Structure 1
Amino acid sequence: MADLYTDKITNKKRAISLDIARGSMLFLIILAHIPLFLYMIEPGVITKVAGSTPLDHFLNFLMEIIVDNRARPLFAILFGYGLVMIYRKQCERRGAQAAHRIIKRRCWYLILFGAILAGLAGVQDILMSYGIAGLLLVSSLKKDSHKIKKYAIISTIICFFYIPILWGGLLISMQSYGLPIDLTGQETYLNTILDRLITIPIIPLFTHFLFPVIPSVLMGIWLGKLNVLIDPQDHIRLLKQLTIGCLTLSFVGAIPLVLINDVWFPSYFTAGTAYGIHILTGFAGGVGYAALFGLLGLGVKYRGVIVKAITSMGKRSLTFFVMHEVLIVVLLSPIAFNIGASLTVTTSVILGIGMWAVTLSIAYFMDRRQIEGPLEKYMHYLTYKEL
């Protein structure tokens, strides 16, 4: 059976697979977001900056295979899975209508949190995007797993029809393999805050259109309906199939992008199409990662500092996501310490590893002292205060 452990704060049983997935996901998001602030290096391919050493090129290769457009779908899948868990629990306690109201309220507060973070701190937002996805998909939570699977397939097919063409057109318009970095080094907090506030409503629309998350949220709802991460012992064959099949597809789908600008120099439209394929096969990567963590839940025991630290971060994922994003902006952005101006690809990865290690230590300390994640605690209060 999957190993369960008892949360010392709530005295409730938790699945190791879910919390390890959440804690590990936060590490992938750090690695995905740090390169966006390396503004003194020439753009590489899409969001990557150009490497200058063999190690830089190797790390860019790993990022494109393992992290880019794979961390975001994993986050979306875990978000969808969490919606099912909330819905199921609240249906048992209060009924389906109350469960819908609770989830909608939670999603509205996610949107508010994301807007505040994007506007005041300038962080890379995904909270608004997932909050909107939750509002759009809350009615699907009453459907069975077969219908949810059908919705996930249909939404993915829709994305297949427009994402590669859209990105091909975007690269043609930019006449470059890489996306321009807007930072110049002259930014201050005050002279950029107006721009940040103006773009708040645009950010989630941009994300949903160019980096769609709804298919992955639906995949997470489907996995939640099957209960594969809570009871992986009942789904071993499916989890193995999803792990092997989806991660293989994710790897193969990343190869065209990896080759661009090193051994392959296609037209801009073809390069954009390759990036669209990278995004779409990232959906499979997210499912593969989620299934892999489900399998890990069968064998990993709640012992050892590392496992306990990752699970501690995982059950405080909202708090540590915000912490990581704010740290990235403060450390790398010109509005604060501006070390993004002097980092290389390699040193930025080292910084990301160090950031995750330090915050893991904080999460472990909080768990030992039975300190709840402050944002989780506040979100719970806001969501349930009127019930």
Structure 2
Amino acid sequence: MPDPTAVDSASPPGGAPRSGSARSLAPDLARGLMLLVIATVHAHLFRFAADGSSSFTLDGPLDTAVTAAMALFAENRGYPMFAALFGYGLTWIYLRRAAEGREWPWVRRLLRRRGRWMVAIGLAHTVLIFFGDIIAVYGLIALLFTAALRFTDRRLLTHAFAWMAVGSLVYAFVNTAVFSAFAEQGAAAGPATPLTDLVGRVVSWAVLGPLLVAISVFPFMIGVWAARRRLLEEPDRHRSLLRRIAAFGITAAVLGGIPQALINIEVWNAPAAAEPWVFWLHLLAGYFGGFGYAALTALVAGRLGERRGPIVTALAATGRRSMTCYLLQSVAWAVLMPTYALGVMGSLSDAQAVGVGVAVWLATVVVADLLRRAGDRQGPAEWVLRRLTYGRT
């Protein structure tokens, strides 16, 4: 999910956000690329959710390869990185305001006000169009874990790894149970209507929301730790560490994703008792994959320096407007997936669905770049959140 702190972490309170050319490239580039991961994962999963089935199509070698690649490189690899970037951005809001002489109670009120509005926006997002909202989840984290910004490193990492172990384990078992119930229900459910979808979205978020908080606290706190060291702003100074994180994280993501990939492509018929443990391993590997992707992006950004061609510029523009682009993806799914709308997702193969995800992401890149060209304007969602947080000052 997008990092809604992207604008304010680079601007003074009440002032205009920093222009794209003055911003650090790595966080924006990472967000822009991870939106591609999220779009393809959603499209891939919506393919079988749309027709009520409980498996991928696997219609030929291409579908099988795509499904395996999604498990190894994409599923549960994008959200951890966004949660880490959210922690990174929230820390920078705190550090910048503290550097301006703001006292901690003032900053805490600011961050919690921002969190409350994110919860409101996320709940509206859920009610209106999308069941898998993450904006409200980040808002809840901002409300509940603001104090973590002032933890010592030791306390921060202790809390982080405790959440990693317990939160991910609970999520793995509950998610597996929910998915099994969905698979058993399958096509027995009646045709979807706008009303049944609305009820389903609200009920789903009531179950998934707290679970998403539980699995997002760990990467959020790792993002706080990374921001204190300016890992993304100063990649050249941390090149050796970033290389190790990228190599270890991406390798761990691939190796840890192999069992889940074998299940997804129906090579391994795992016993029911093993499925939640396999998914737990998949989640843990995803954490490190997300960190590895962020580190790799920072290294690329450091290598590029100021040499930003049109593609990199457009990707950074997308990352800067990640909340708007994320919401635009939801609008696309609301049009493409339900049977009472276009209803095309259920008729696609796995590879075709991923292709649709790529196309949706490319459309948001075009929109973001047009906003950049039109006077480097903020995205509408970023503008609204900033106005709600800071007012008209």
Provide TM-score, normalisation by structure 1.
Answer: 0.88
Aligned counterpart in structure 2 of residue 381 of structure 1, from 375, 378, 387: 387
User: What is the aligned partner in structure 2 of residue 71 from structure 1?
Assistant: 78
> Once the two structures are superposed, what CA deviation does each residue of 1:117-138 show, in whole Å capped at 9, x if it has no partner?
1011134211111111222211
> Once the two structures are superposed, what CA deviation does each residue of 1:93-116 show, in whole Å capped at 9, x if it has no partner?
322221111111111111111100
1:62 aligns with 2:62: no
Q: Distance in 1 between matches of 2:186 and 2:211?
A: 16
Q: Is the 8 A contact 2:317 2:372 kept in 1?
A: yes
User: What is the aligned partner in structure 2 of residue 277 from structure 1?
Assistant: 281
User: What is the aligned partner in structure 2 of residue 36 from structure 1?
Assistant: 45
Aligned counterpart in structure 2 of residue 230 of structure 1, from 220, 230, 233: 233
The 5 A counterparts of 1:150-229 are: 150-159=158-167, 162=170, 174=181, 186-197=191-202, 199-208=204-213, 212-229=215-232
Q: Distance in 2 between matches of 1:192 and 1:204?
A: 17
Residues 161 and 307 of structure 1: is their aligned pair in 2 closer, same or farther, counting only changes over 3 Å? closer
Residue 187 of structure 1 aligns to a residue whose secondary structure is coil
User: What is the aligned partner in structure 1 of residue 243 from structure 2?
Assistant: 240
Aligned counterpart in structure 2 of residue 16 of structure 1, from 25, 39, 53: 25
Q: Distance in 2 between matches of 1:383 and 1:299?
A: 35
Provide TM-score, normalisation by structure 2.
Answer: 0.87
User: What is the aligned partner in structure 2 of residue 91 from structure 1?
Assistant: 98
Q: Is the 8 A contact 1:84 1:224 kept in 2?
A: yes
CA displacement at 1:381 relative to structure 2: 0.7
User: What is the aligned partner in structure 2 of residue 114 from structure 1?
Assistant: 122
Q: Distance in 2 between matches of 1:321 and 1:14?
A: 21
Q: Distance in 2 between matches of 1:109 and 1:179?
A: 37
CA displacement at 1:183 relative to structure 2: 9.6
Q: Distance in 2 between matches of 1:168 and 1:315?
A: 34
The 5 A counterparts of 1:141-152 are: 141-152=149-160
User: What is the aligned partner in structure 1 of residue 137 from structure 2?
Assistant: 129
Structure 2: gaps of 5 or more residues: 1-9
Residue 85 of structure 1 aligns to a residue whose secondary structure is helix
Aligned counterpart in structure 2 of residue 361 of structure 1, from 353, 363, 366: 366
CA displacement at 1:204 relative to structure 2: 0.9
Aligned counterpart in structure 2 of residue 252 of structure 1, from 250, 255, 275: 255
CA displacement at 1:148 relative to structure 2: 2.0
CA displacement at 1:87 relative to structure 2: 1.0
CA displacement at 1:169 relative to structure 2: 6.2
User: What is the aligned partner in structure 2 of residue 313 from structure 1?
Assistant: 318
User: What is the aligned partner in structure 1 of residue 354 from structure 2?
Assistant: 349
CA displacement at 1:195 relative to structure 2: 4.2
Structure 1: gaps of 5 or more residues: 1-5
CA displacement at 1:202 relative to structure 2: 3.6
CA displacement at 1:88 relative to structure 2: 0.9
Residues 268 and 19 of structure 1: is their aligned pair in 2 closer, same or farther, counting only changes over 3 Å? same
Residue 23 of structure 2 aligns to a residue whose secondary structure is strand
Instruction: Return the letter of the residue paired with 2:37.
Output: L
Aligned counterpart in structure 1 of residue 292 of structure 2, from 279, 285, 288: 288
CA displacement at 1:75 relative to structure 2: 1.1
Instruction: Return the letter of the residue paired with 1:114.
Output: G
Q: Distance in 1 between matches of 2:186 and 2:26?
A: 37
CA displacement at 1:263 relative to structure 2: 2.6
Q: Distance in 2 between matches of 1:151 and 1:267?
A: 33
Residues 255 and 125 of structure 1: is their aligned pair in 2 closer, same or farther, counting only changes over 3 Å? same
Instruction: Return the letter of the residue paired with 1:86.
Output: I
> Once the two structures are superposed, what CA deviation does each residue of 1:233-263 show, in whole Å capped at 9, x if it has no partner?
2211111111111111111110111122533
Instruction: Return the letter of the residue paired with 1:223.
Output: A
> Once the two structures are superposed, what CA deviation does each residue of 1:247-306 show, in whole Å capped at 9, x if it has no partner?
111111101111225332221111221111101211111111111111112112442211
Q: Distance in 1 between matches of 2:205 and 2:290?
A: 26
Which of 184-193 and 251-260 deviates more?
Answer: 184-193
Residues 108 and 275 of structure 1: is their aligned pair in 2 closer, same or farther, counting only changes over 3 Å? same
User: What is the aligned partner in structure 1 of residue 4 from structure 2?
Assistant: none
Q: Distance in 2 between matches of 1:164 and 1:182?
A: 24
Residue 69 of structure 1 aligns to a residue whose secondary structure is coil
Residue 145 of structure 2 aligns to a residue whose secondary structure is helix
Q: Distance in 2 between matches of 1:164 and 1:191?
A: 26
Residues 156 and 182 of structure 1: is their aligned pair in 2 closer, same or farther, counting only changes over 3 Å? farther
Instruction: Return the letter of the residue paired with 2:260.
Output: L
Residues 187 and 266 of structure 1: is their aligned pair in 2 closer, same or farther, counting only changes over 3 Å? closer
